Amino acid sequence: MKKLLVNLDRKILIVKRESIVDKHVRFDGKIVAGMYSNFWGDIEGNEVYLGKGCTVNGTIRCRKAVIGAYTRFNSIIASGDVIVLDGCVGNSIKASGDVRIGNSIVHSVETDGYVLVDGAAKLEKLIARRVVASMD
């Protein structure tokens, strides 16, 4: 059974649910990973969308990233916006755009834009133009 599906017309790489990818993934387009997928290497693409409970041991390099709930990641380097949903644990985020973080633990966040902390996130180091925190 194939764990990677490619649609070149729409420029989408789909990683099936519960897949284990043991190599670096580089794709000139959108990368969509199903729930509970594991990446042992780096992920490089224009847009990266990770489902719930994924694990990324390498670096995520992209323009835009949406990290699903309860995902573990090492580092994210984005030239645009980053969204991190609830329950994630990560080492570092470096972004040129805005960063939105739910109830997650991230050691360091550096951005040229805004950081929106939505809930009770734990951040050790934070560098941003403006920080907006909301507790709903």
Quote the DSSP letter at residue 16: P
Residue 37 in domain: yes
This prediction's pTM: 0.93
Query: Which portions of the chain are predicted below pLDDT 50?
Result: none
Residue 132 in domain: no
Give the model confidence (pLDDT) of 7-21 as tens digits.
999 999 999 999 999
Number of independent structural domains in the chain: 1
Residue 46 in domain: yes
Full domain range(s) for residue 55 = 4-117
Exposed, middle or buried by CB within 10 Å (0-12, 13-18, 19+), for 88?
A: buried
pLDDT score of 4: 87
Determine phi and psi for 109, rounding to 5 degrees. -130, 125
Give the model confidence (pLDDT) of 101-120 as tens digits.
999 999 999 999 999 998 88
Residue 130 in domain: no
Looking at residue 112, its amino acid is D
User: What token pair was written down for 49?
Assistant: 């969308």
